């Protein structure tokens, strides 16, 4: 999938229009009928410079989600300064994660969370925020508590004062592909 994401970026940067499923080889791909969440992360020199994904599927297929989130990465302020660089596409590393519906589970505590295999989605409607930490994205999350701390901080919340009644927490597993 990272190759498809790279093709999507190349087509868009070349034509300045959203490519079709046919143009990026997705018409007959399994993603054309699948309905999984898709997260795209772009790296430059080992650092994340863009990411995009949703916690609920909005498009009719994972293929359309992949196109949209790949292109939404270009709006991430962390990559904006690099967009004029003609070598950018060659220097980017791409990771694509998909999350099947059955790979998301609402949890009420951290006992079943292993940061080596799981990520977290935190939704806090009371605070009008949410955050996602994908599996294997952070080397600093050695424990479930570390992972919870990261996702809470990413949501702009203090993990020490959060009330479990104020959040919805999903444990997630992803299928991940990258070119690094």
pLDDT at residue 141, rounded to an integer: 87
Q: Where in the sequence of the chain do the CATH 3.30.700.20 domains occur?
A: 2-99
Q: What length does the chain have?
A: 180
What is the distance between the alpha carbons of residues 143 and 64, in angstroms, rounded to a whole number?
35
The residue among 66, 57, 59, 60 whose CA lies nearest residue 25 is: 66
Q: Which two tokens mark 23?
A: 């143009």
What percent of the chain is modeled with pLDDT above 70? Answer: 100
**In this predicted model, what pLDDT tens digit does every residue of 105-159 receive, in sequence order?**
999 999 999 999 999 999 999 999 999 999 988 777 899 999 999 999 999 999 9
What is the distance between the alpha carbons of residues 24 and 162, in angstroms, rounded to a whole number?
43
Q: What is the mean pLDDT of the chain?
A: 95
2-99 folds as: Glycoprotein, Type 4 Pilin (3.30.700)
Q: DSSP string covering the chain, please?
A: -HHHHHHHHHHHHHHSSPPPTTTTT-TTSGGGT---EEEEEEEETTEEEEEEE-SS--SSSHHHHHHHHHHHGGG-HHHHTTTT-TTHHHHEEEEEEEE-GGGEEEESSSTT--TTT-EEEEEEGGGTEEEEE-TT--TT--SHHHHHHHHHHHTT--TTT--GGG-EEEEE--EEEE--
pLDDT at residue 84, rounded to an integer: 87
Q: Where in the sequence of the chain do the CATH 3.30.1490.150 domains occur?
A: 101-176
Instruction: Say whether pLDDT at 33 is over 90.
Output: yes
Q: For residue 154, which phi and psi values (nearest 5 degrees)?
A: -60, -35
Instruction: Say whether pLDDT at 38 is over 90.
Output: yes
pLDDT at residue 140, rounded to an integer: 75
101-176 folds as: Dna Ligase; domain 1 (3.30.1490)
Compute how many other C-beta atoms are within 10 angstroms of the C-beta atom of residue 160.
7
């Amino acid at each position: 999938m990272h190759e498809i994401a790279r093709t999507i970026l190349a087509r868009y940067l070349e034509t300045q229009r959203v490519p079709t499923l046919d143009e990026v080889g997705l018409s007959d791909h399994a993603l054309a009928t699948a309905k999984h969440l898709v997260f795209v992360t772009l790296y430059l020199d080992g650092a994340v410079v863009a990411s995009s994904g949703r916690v609920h599927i909005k498009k009719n297929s994972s293929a359309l989600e992949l196109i949209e989130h790949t292109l939404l990465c270009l709006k991430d302020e962390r990559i904006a300064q690099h967009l004029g660089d003609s070598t950018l596409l060659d220097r980017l590393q791409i990771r694509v994660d998909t999350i099947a519906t059955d790979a998301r589970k609402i949890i009420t505590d951290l006992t079943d969370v292993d940061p080596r295999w799981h990520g977290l989605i935190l939704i806090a409607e009371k605070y009008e925020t949410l955050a996602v930490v994908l599996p294997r994205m952070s080397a600093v999350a050695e424990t479930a508590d570390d992972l919870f701390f990261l996702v809470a901080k990413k949501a702009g919340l203090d993990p020490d004062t959060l009330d479990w009644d104020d959040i919805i927490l999903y444990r997630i597993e992803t299928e991940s592909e990258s070119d690094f």
